[in-house]
Amino acid sequence: MANAHTSTFSAFKATLKRDLLIAYKRKNDVVNPFMFFLIVASLFPIGVSPEPERLSLIAAGVLWISALLAALLAMDNLYRADYEDGSLEQLLLSPHPLFFMVLAKNIAHWLVSGLPVVLVSPLIAYMLSLPDGSYHVLFLSLLLGTPVFSLLGSIGVALTVGLGSRGLILAMITLPMSVPVLIAGTLAVQQTQNGASLLGFLAIMGAMLLFALTLAPLASAAALRISVN
Amino acid sequence: MWTWFHKLGSPKWFYDISGRWLPWLVACMAVCLVVGVIWSLLFVPQDYQQGLTNRIFYVHVPVASISLAFFPLMAIAGTVSLVWKMKLADVVVKVAAPLGAWFTALALASGSIWGIDTWGTFWVWDARLTSLLLQFFLLIGMISLRSALEDTDAAAKACALLSIVGTINMVVIKYSVLWWDVLHQPPTNFTVDNSQPNGPEIWIPLVIMFLGVYLFFVISLILSVRNEILRRERRAQWVSELAAQ
Amino acid sequence: MDQTTSATSKQSPAQNQAVLLQASELFCERDDRVLFSGLNFSVSRGQVLQIKGGNGTGKTTLLRMLCGLNQDFEGTLYWQGQDMAEQEEAFHSALLYIGHRVGVNKVLTPLENLRWTCRLQREVSDEQLMSALAGVGLRGFEDSQCHALSAGQQQRVALARLLLSQATLWVLDEPFTTLDVDGVALLENLLQQHAARGGAVLVTTHHNLQIPGLEVLTLG
C-alpha cells in the first residue's frame, strides 16, 4: 500500500509541471506582467527626463520598482483560478506537506512571471543608460531579489484569495513588506558603482532569499488553510 | 472545555476587571500628563541650539517608542489567538491595528514638527521616520484586510497570521532602512541629544511623560477592547443586563 | 437541539474496526446561527451514508469539516478510532474529496487534470488515466480543453478519479447535480461497488439514491 502512494517529491514535480503547463496555455498571463514591466520602465524617461545623465542616476531604482510592480500585478494569478475551480481544495487535501506544494506553485509562478523580467532587464537598463559596469550587478541582484517578491506576494495573495476586491489590499500588504529587497537591490547597484564589493550585497540578498524560501511558504500554506474555509 | 472557557469566560472577566482598574489608571495618567506637560513645556531649560521647538521631544519620544511596540504586541496576541483560539487575544489584534496607526501617525506628525526646526523642513527621509512610515502603511493594510474579510473567524486567523508575518518583516525593514540611511548619507546625523546637558532637570520630566503616555496607551487599548467586547457579545446575557442598568 | 439519526452508532471507536470515521458531539455555528449541535454519527466500511437537509442546513459545511478543510467547529473527529488531529496524513491518504467546485482547471484537458489530481495521491500511468476517462464516458474528449466541455462532462472528469482511487473514504458534495440519466446510474453503480469492496461513501444530494443498504443522515 505504502509504495502505491507518491513521494512528496513526485507530487511536487506534478504540481510544478501542471502550473507551467497552465502558464504555457494561458500565454496572456505570462506576457502581461512582462509587458507591464516594459511599459512602466519606459514611462520614466518620458515623465522624468530623457537626458542620459539623469536617467543613469535613477536607472537602477526604476528597474527595481518596475520589477516590483510587475511582480505584484502577476501575483493575482497564483491561486485565484485554483481557488475558483476547487483545485486548491485538492492541494490542501493531498497527503503531502502543503509547504512543498506551495513552494512548487511559487517556483512555477516565478519562472513564468519573474524570470522573463530578469532576462530582459539588461536591455531596459541599456535604454535607461545604466552605467557600464553595473549590468551584471543589476542582473544578479534581480535574479536573487525577484523570487523574494514572489514568495512574499504569495502570502498576501493567499490571505486575500477569497476576497472580491483584493487588488489594493494586496498592494498595501505586499509593497511595504518588499522594501528590504528593494533597498538591498538598489543599494547593490549604486554602491558597486562607488567601488563597494559586489559579494557582500549578493550575500545579503542571498540570505534574504533563503530566509524567504524557508518561512514564506509556511506562512502562505497557513494563509491558504485560513482562506479556504 | 477550554475553548468553552475562553469563549464565554474571558471577555466578561476582562470587562469586569478592567472596569475596576480604569478609574485608577485614568487618575494616574491625568496626574502624570498634567505634571509632565507643564514641567516639560514650561520649566525645562531651553536648548541653546534648538530653542523652544526642542520641547516637542517630550511628546515625540514617548509616542514614537509606544508606536514601535504595536507590532510585537499584535504578534504576541496573534500567536495566542491562533494557538489557543482565545477570543480576547483576537480582540486585541483587531483594536491594536487602528490604535497603532493613530500612534504611528502621531509619532510621524510630532517628528515632522520637530524636524521643521532641526532640519529646516518638515519631512526628511531619515531612517526612523521612514520605517515609521512603512509601519504606518502596513498597519493600514492590516486594517483594510480586517474590514474586507467579513467572516470574523477567518478574519481573526488571517489578521493573526499577518501580524506575525508583519512583525518579522518589520524587524527586517527597520534594519534595512537603517542600512540604507547610513549608506545614503554620511553619518553626520542629527542625534537626539548630542548637545544637551543630561541632568535630572531633563530626564525626570521625560520619565513622567513616558509614564503618562504609556498609561494613555494602556487606557486607550483597554477602552477599545471593552468596546469591541460589547459589540461582539451583544447577544450575551450579561451584556443585556449591563445595558438594562 | 440534539439530533438523533438512523446513522448514529454509539460504539466506542476502538471496539469496532469497521468504523472508519466517527464524529462526536459536533457543534458548529455560522454568524451567530447554530447549524448543528450535539451531532454524533459514524461511517463504517461498506456503508453509503447520504446526508440530507434543506438549503442552508450545513451539509457542505459538515463535509468540509470532516475533510479538515473547515476547522471552525467544536467536537471531535476520529479516524479509525484515533483522534483526527494526530492522523492527518493517514486520513488524507485514504480520502477522496470532490467538492461543489470539482477541481477541474478550465484550460487544461481532462487528461492533464486527472493526471495532476491523481498524482497528488499516487503514481498512475497514462493508460490508466485514459481508460478511466473512457469509463466515465469521455472517450474522444481526452485532449480538448475543459472550458469546451459541458458542466456535466466536467463533473465526469472529476468523477474519473473514483475509478482510479485507492482511497477508502469518498466524500462527495452534490455529485449528481449536473449528471444526465446515464451519469447518475454510473455513479450510483460506482458508489455501490466501492461499498461492496469495503470502502465507505459520504454523499450529499437531493437525489433519491437507488442503493441497497443506503443510510441517511438528515440535518436541520
Across all residues in chain C, what is the average pLDDT?
85
Q: Looking at this predicted complex, what is its ipTM?
A: 0.88
CA–CA distances in Å: residue A114 to residues A70, B101, C20 = 8, 33, 46
pLDDT score of A140 = 94
Task: Identify which of C67, C102, C119 has the shortest CB distance to residue A86.
Answer: C102
Separation of alpha carbons C181 and C189, rounded Å: 12
| Mutation for testing the C interface, residue in B149, B153, B233, B235 having most C CBs under 10 Å | B153
Q: Do B3 and C72 touch (CB under 8 A)?
A: no
- Considering only residues B199 and C217, tell me which one the structure prediction assigns the higher pLDDT: C217
Tell me the CA distances in angstroms from A106 to A150, A175, B125, B235, one per residue in order. Answer: 7, 18, 34, 44
Alpha-carbon gap, residue B167 to B163, rounded angstroms? 6
Is B153 close to C32, i.e. CB distance below 8 A? Answer: no
Q: How far is B2 from chain C (nearest CA, A)?
A: 11
With an 8 Å Cβ cutoff, are C166 and A89 in contact?
A: no
- CB of C72 less than 8 A from some CB of B: yes
- Residue-by-residue DSSP string for A179-205: HHHHHHHHHHHHHHHTT--HHHHHHHH
Selected residues 58-97 of chain C with any CB under 8 Å from a CB in chain A: 64, 67-72, 89, 92-93, 95, 97
Q: Order of strands across the sheet with C169-173?
A: C95-98, C169-173, C200-204, C48-52, C215-218
Contact C32 B3 (CB under 8 A): no
DSSP assignment of chain B, as one string?
Answer: -HHHIIIIIHHHHHHHHHHHHHHHHHHHHHHHHHHHHHIIIIISPPBTTTBGGGGGHHHHHHHHHHHTTHHHHHHHHHHHHHHH--HHHHHHHHHHHHHHHHHHHHHHHHHHHHHHHHTSSS----HHHHHHHHHHHHHHHHHHHHHH--SHHHHHHHHHHHHHHHHHHHHHHHHHHHHHHHHHS-S----TTSS----HHHHHHHHHHHHHHHHHHHHHHHHHHHHHHHHHTTTSHHHHHHHH-
Does an H or E element contain A81, and which? helix A80-85
Q: Which residue of C has its CA nearest to B152?
A: C31
Q: In this predicted model, which residue has the larger pLDDT, B112 or A219?
A: A219
Residue of chain C whose Cα is closest to the Cα of A224: C69
Question: Which domains are assigned to chain C?
Answer: 1-94+168-220 (3.40.50.300), 103-166 (no CATH)
Contacts of residue B138 in chain A, CB cutoff 8 Å?
172-173, 176-177
Residue B1 in contact with partner chain C when CB distance is under 8 A: no
The DSSP call for residue C73 is -
A69 vs C84, higher pLDDT: A69
Element of type H or E holding C96: strand C95-98
How high is the pLDDT of residue C17? 62
Q: Cβ B148–A165 below 8 Å, yes or no?
A: yes
Domain spans, chain B: 25-43+51-189+215-244
Least confident of B49-63, C18-32, C186-200: B49-63
Strand partners, C44: C19
Across the interface, do A22 and C105 touch by the CB < 8 Å criterion? yes
| Per-residue confidence in pLDDT tens, chain B, 245 aa | 455 555 544 788 888 888 888 999 999 999 999 998 888 878 777 665 656 667 788 888 899 999 999 999 999 999 998 888 888 888 999 999 999 999 999 999 998 888 887 777 888 888 888 999 999 999 999 999 998 887 678 888 999 999 999 999 999 998 988 888 887 765 444 445 444 556 677 778 888 999 999 999 999 999 999 999 888 888 878 888 888 87
Q: What is the pLDDT of residue B4?
A: 53
What are the domain boundaries of chain A? 8-227
Residues of C in contact with B4 (CB under 8 A): 74
* pLDDT tens for each residue of B84-126: 888 888 899 999 999 999 999 999 999 888 888 777 788 888 8
CA distance, residue C99 to nearest chain A CA (Å) = 7
In contact, B22 and B222? CB cutoff 8 Å = yes
Residue A132, pLDDT score: 87
Which residue in B3, B153, B235 is closest to C74 by CB distance? B3
Q: What is the mean pLDDT of residues A11-33?
A: 90
